[in-house]
Amino acid sequence: MPGLVEADDDGLYVLKFRGAGQGPKALAAELVAREVGRALGLPVPEIVFVELDPALGHAEPDPEIQELIAASGGRNLGMDFLPGALPFAPSQPPDPALAAAVVWFDALVMNVDRTPRNPNLLHWHGRLWLIDHGAALYVHHGDADPVAARGSRSRRSATTCCCRSPARSRRPTRASRRGWTARCWSASPPSCRRSGATAPSMPSTWPGAWRPRARSRRRQSVRGPEPFQYAIVRVVPRVERGEGFNAGVVLFCRPLRFLGARVELDEGVLAALAPDCDPVEVRSHLQALVRVAEGAPEGGAVAALDPSERFHWLVAPASTMLQPSAVHTGLTRDPAAELDRLFAALVAR
C-alpha cells in the first residue's frame, strides 16, 4: 500500500514501504525496472530514496498503517508524484511507436502487471507515464534459484482439456450434454486419436434427465425491485489538497443486465479549483468512462469485457484526478430511470 508523503525537499512523493506484504524485493524490482526504462528513454517518474522515521506512525489512527510504518523504518522508495494526472483512457490509444516500446520493455523486465484492466499508465502534461513496476522481475520472488531456472518453461499436460466439465455445470442443457463428448474428443491430442483410444463416455454421475419445467397455471407474479450498485465519479484536480466535485454516476444492476454511466463537467468549479487544468482533456476522459460502461468499441479492450468486470474496472480505487466513490447499493425496477435520478440528485447543477 503506497502513501503520499512530503519530504524535506518540499517535494511530494508516492512512497512504497519496504514493510509492505510484497517486501523489499518488490522495491528492488521497482528500482531496476524504472532505471532501465529511464535508460531506454521511456517516460517514467523520477525515483528517490526516502528515509522514513518510524515515529511518524504514532500519530496515525489506523493500526494497520501504524504497523506498516513501524516495519518500514529506514530506507524506502519514493516516486515523484504527478499532481493532476488522469487515468489512461482506452478510447485514446497511444502512439504506436510508444506502445511497441512499452510492450518490448515489459517483456525485457518481465513485468506481468500491465494489462488492459490495469494498464498502470497515467496521462500527465500531454504524455503517457509508466508507473508501478514492483511486479517486474517476478522470478526473484520465488524460492528457486533464478539463474538455475533460466530458460525453463511451464509444461502443460498433453491430455489437458480446456472444456469445462459438465459435471461441474449447475444445470447442463440437452445440447451441452450431447456435445460434450464431441468437443472434448476433438480437443484431444492427435496421439490419442491415432492410438485407437475410444472417445470418453458420458459421466455416470449425471442425473437421468432434466425435463423442462411445466408451465404453471397460476398467475405470473409481478417482478419486484432488484438490487443495484452505484458509485459517484469525482474530479479531484489536486489530490494532495483533497478538493473535488461530483462529475458522474456509474450504475450496475446485474439481475436486469444494466450498466450505464452519466457524466457532466462543471467547468466553473474546475476553473476555481485548478485554473491551469484543461477542461477539454478532463471531459474527454469522463466520456471515455461512458464508452466503457456502454461497451462501445471506442472504449478499447476494457469495453469488451462483460458488464460485471467493466463495472469493477470503473469503480476501482484510484489516486488520479478522476476518483470513484465507495460503492453504494439500492433497489430498483428501472435502472435507467434510477441512473437519471441519481445523476440529477448528485451531479447536475
State yes or no: pLDDT of 182 exceeds 60.
no
State yes or no: pLDDT of 57 exceeds 70.
yes
The position carrying cell 524485493 is 25
Question: Which residues sit opposite 259 in a β-bridge?
Answer: 252
Once rounded to an integer, what is the mean pLDDT over residues 69-82?
89
Rounded percentage of the chain residues whose pLDDT exceeds 70: 77
Q: What is the reported pLDDT for 153?
A: 56
Exposure string for 254-269, b = 16+ CB within 10 A, e = fewer: eebebbbbbbebbeeb
Once rounded to an integer, what is the mean pLDDT over residues 224-250?
91
pTM value is 0.60
Q: What is the reported pLDDT for 178?
A: 43
Question: Which residues sit opposite 75 in a β-bridge?
Answer: 51
Residue 88, amino acid: F
Distance separating alpha carbons of residues 55 and 128, to the nearest angstrom: 36
- Three-class HEC string of 327-342: CEEEEECCHHHHHHHH
Angle between helices 96-108 and 24-39 (to 10 degrees): 140
